[in-house]
Structure 1
């Protein structure tokens, strides 16, 4: 396990399925792309890394479908200038 963590620590970015590497990368704050199938990233996804989370569109009618979610650690302050709010607020 120590060797595996040391190997991941040498990476600039990691691409991994929903498994142990995404949690190690979260703990080590390594940027990552996390790939999810039928499991939900809200329950088992990375919690502390700069990450892009990709989930597959599943056949289930209850599936949220394809989702891309950006996580940035530490969180950036929200941009609330009137110019940016104009583009994000429905008319």
Structure 2
């Protein structure tokens, strides 16, 4: 089981993550999006497509762009559709 925490709050937990480029992508149904807000940030990867981001907000605490996802990944990255990954520098990831 892989879990993601921020300040003790569990953001995601799953034994069905997909690892791409060293990042665990969590299925949407394993992600606690209660404190997530859509971010206006987007980036482009030539083989995965356009990534969108979530920021974290809770009790006055805010972390911009804590997680990302590919709503419509390219064919080579189809396995990460409906999955979310987290920045290792902003969260605690354990397995």
| TM-score, length of structure 1 as denominator length | 0.27
Structure with bigger RCO (C-alpha 8 Å, 6+ apart):
2
Q: Flag the structure with higher strand content.
A: 2
Larger radius of gyration: 1
